[in-house]
């Protein structure tokens, strides 16, 4: 959340514009959410518009919760999917959303059947259903839909599609459900897919009081059908729209603002902060030294990466720095493995944010359902889950019963990774401190799902992908594998640059871009994006651990070669 108290001149200008279509282009850290809240508050408090006549849509549960909390209206905002669900339920249209592990299983089967990669099929199906331009064999779509229908499921894209056709084909339903909304706000508009945009036009109906807010430079979800050109489409469909720009940054220090202006020079973000900053490009040897450099830096700031050391030495360092000030950001889940293992071995508190979180794992969901059933026998679970529930004894500690259930679940799963055990192990230890640990687990699970698996108040080091970093901010950011082939990707696109821009702009004080020289026995080269850092006071660091690590690797090689001689 950006540190802004009073509206600035540009926000005051925006607040004067009440009616008609509007676009607000808001750069990173410029008070986008604050502006949205100010506009809605003005409608409700000054113009006396009932909040029931205002529709606010955004893209994540966390964003909805933030808007609702800041407005003091617990059930105000919606995600696109939750609003579509609301419309369908008012028409008594029932559905079941396919569990993610089953959806992936279907896509795996289809991928093998057509000789394609999983990701290619998954992205192709989603982009096709979101009306995005994408070449995919229609037979794949037909096969996918046939299996869904046979098993009695919808996927999340179906929520949008079914609602669109319901509203488009039935004027009475459209008028009945939408006529009460006199003002419509769309947050994070750059993330809008074509099917969502078609829904927006149906939502608007006769009212032209629509305000969209976002940043085309932060459009990073093309694999879901989003398109940064959606702002141009809006201008064409609403030619009299008023356009505003927010460019006063309240988040980043002056050096990081210089960098983000280097990435997209036309936007001209201005800063109001001239406080401490530290920006560095770090050369290191491999994923081991990369992880160790991150840990050493945190140690230098906080006095130790485990709770005991940090608390005992914090007087010597900065008492204001917490574990939660640090975020380790990476392109994909695989890049976090070594960092996570090292943090775990050191007893350092951390949380994985976003889709890689253990809260999105099917095993965790089963544990949740079983515990909920044991606490309330009226809660419905499957026969298999009832059988598994015998593994849990609510009279025993959380740590005495849950591990055996996890092992049993993983033994029946193809996804037998040790990291899940590590992540859940940390969680188990936390809940042991509560007298009613099982109920606390249920409450925490619900909270984490509602907040996209991010516990903002938890004092833990944050681990997350570049995509999951969207909308968040941290004092210190480590961007891992700052190498060609990863950042940017092998086939560099405009979205690579936007994704990098989003990641860099998460850092408030310190930004460290780390470039290993090797990964999985192949050479890597520092990212071409280092061109954006040719600025005064940007540090260039050669990791001191490189020589020691290379010596260790050479010893291992020598030992192996000697063993082969025998």
Using an 8 Å Cβ cutoff, are 284 and 295 in contact? no
d(CA 263, CA 282) in angstroms, rounded, equals 19
Phi, psi at 99, each rounded to 5°: -60, 145
Is 265 labeled as ligand-binding? no
* Cis peptide bond prior to 488, omega within 30° of 0: yes
Kindly give the pairing relationship between strand 518-519 and strand 522-523: antiparallel
Token pair belonging to 214: 């976002």
Under a CB-based contact definition with an 8 Å cutoff, are residues 149 and 117 in contact? Answer: no
Structure tokens at 268: 């001209």
Q: What is the Cα–Cα distance from 474 to 460, expressed in whole angstroms?
A: 12
Location of structure tokens 């032209």:
208
Contact 228, 190 (CB under 8 A): yes
Contact (CB, 8 A) for 243 and 23:
yes
Q: Is 303 annotated as a binding residue?
A: no
Is 364 assigned a ligand-binding role in the annotation?
Answer: no
Q: How many CB atoms lie within 10 A of CB 76?
A: 19
354 annotated as belonging to a binding site for a ligand: no
Is 192 marked within a binding site?
no
The answer to whether 29 is a known ligand-binding residue is: yes
Count H helices, E strands: the chain?
A: 22, 17
CA distance 307 to 533: 35
Region of 268 please: left (phi>0), alpha (psi -120 to 50) or beta: left
Q: Which residue from 462, 427, 426 is spatially nearest to 346, judged by alpha carbons?
A: 426
Alpha helices in 432-479 (DSSP H): 437-450
CB 487 within 8 A of CB 352: no
DSSP 8-state secondary structure symbol assigned to residue 193:
B
φ, ψ at 335 (rounded to 5°): -70, -10
Hey, what are 293's tokens? 């450099």
- Local structure of residue 333 (DSSP, 8 states): G
Find out whether 214 and 25 touch, Cβ atoms under 8 Å: yes
Reference 260, options 242, 283, 277; nearest CA is 277
* Residue 226 assigned to a binding site: no
Q: Give the residue numbers of the binding site.
A: 26-33
Q: Give the residue numbers of the binding site for ATP.
A: 26-33
């Amino acid at each position: 959340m950006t540190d802004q108290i009073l509206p600035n001149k540009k926000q005051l200008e925006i607040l004067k514009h009440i009616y008609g279509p509007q676009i607000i282009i808001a750069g990173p850290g410029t008070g986008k959410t604050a502006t949205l809240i100010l506009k809605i508050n003005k409608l409700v408090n000054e113009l006396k518009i009932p909040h029931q006549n205002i529709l606010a849509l955004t893209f994540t549960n966390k964003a909805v919760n933030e808007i609702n909390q800041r407005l003091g209206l617990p059930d105000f905002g919606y995600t696109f999917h939750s609003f579509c669900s609301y419309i369908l339920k008012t028409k008594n249209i029932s559905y079941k959303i396919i569990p993610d592990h089953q959806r992936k299983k279907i896509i795996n089967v289809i991928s093998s059947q057509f000789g394609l990669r999983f990701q290619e099929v998954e992205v192709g199906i989603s982009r096709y259903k979101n009306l995005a331009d994408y070449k995919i064999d229609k037979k794949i779509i037909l096969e996918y839909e046939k299996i869904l229908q046979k098993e009695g499921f919808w996927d999340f894209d179906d929520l949008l599609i079914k609602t669109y056709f319901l509203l488009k084909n039935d004027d009475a339903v459209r008028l009945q459900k939408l006529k009460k909304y006199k003002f419509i706000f769309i947050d994070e508009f750059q993330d809008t897919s074509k099917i969502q945009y078609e829904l927006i036009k149906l939502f608007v109906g006769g009212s032209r009081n629509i305000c969209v807010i976002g940043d085309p430079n932060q459009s990073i979800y093309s694999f879901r059908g989003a398109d940064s050109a959606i702002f141009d489409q809006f201008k064409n469909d609403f030619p009299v729209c008023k356009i505003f720009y927010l460019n006063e940054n309240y988040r980043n220090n002056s050096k990081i603002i210089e960098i983000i202006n280097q990435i997209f020079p036309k936007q001209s973000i201005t800063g109001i902060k001239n406080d401490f900053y530290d920006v560095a490009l770090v050369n290191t040897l491999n994923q081991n030294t990369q992880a160790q450099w991150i840990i050493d830096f945190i140690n230098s700031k906080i006095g130790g990466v485990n709770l005991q050391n940090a608390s005992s030495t914090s007087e010597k360092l900065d008492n204001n720095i917490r574990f939660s000030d640090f975020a380790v950001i990476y392109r994909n889940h695989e890049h976090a493995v070594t960092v996570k293992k090292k943090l775990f071995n050191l007893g350092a508190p951390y949380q994985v944010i976003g889709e890689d979180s253990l809260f999105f794992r099917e095993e965790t969901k089963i544990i949740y359902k079983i515990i909920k059933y044991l606490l309330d026998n009226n809660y419905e679970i499957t026969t298999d889950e009832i059988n598994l529930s015998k593994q849990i004894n609510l009279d025993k500690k959380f740590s005495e019963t849950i591990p055996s259930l996890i092992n049993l679940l993983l033994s029946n799963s193809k996804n037998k990774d040790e990291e899940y055990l590590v992540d859940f192990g940390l969680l188990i230890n936390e809940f042991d401190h509560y007298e009613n640990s099982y109920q606390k687990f249920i409450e925490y699970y619900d909270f984490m799902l509602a907040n996209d698996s991010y516990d903002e108040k938890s004092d833990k080091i944050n681990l997350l992908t570049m995509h999951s970093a969207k909308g968040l901010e941290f004092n210190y950011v480590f961007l891992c594998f700052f190498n060609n082939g990863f950042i940017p990707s092998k086939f560099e696109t405009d979205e690579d640059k936007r994704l990098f821009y989003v990641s860099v702009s998460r850092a408030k004080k310190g930004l460290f871009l780390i470039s290993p020289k090797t990964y999985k026995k192949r050479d890597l080269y520092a990212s071409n994006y280092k061109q954006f850092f040719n600025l005064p006071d940007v540090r260039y660091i050669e990791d001191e651990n490189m020589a020691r690590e290379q010596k260790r690797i050479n010893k291992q090689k020598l030992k192996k070669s000697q063993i082969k001689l025998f």
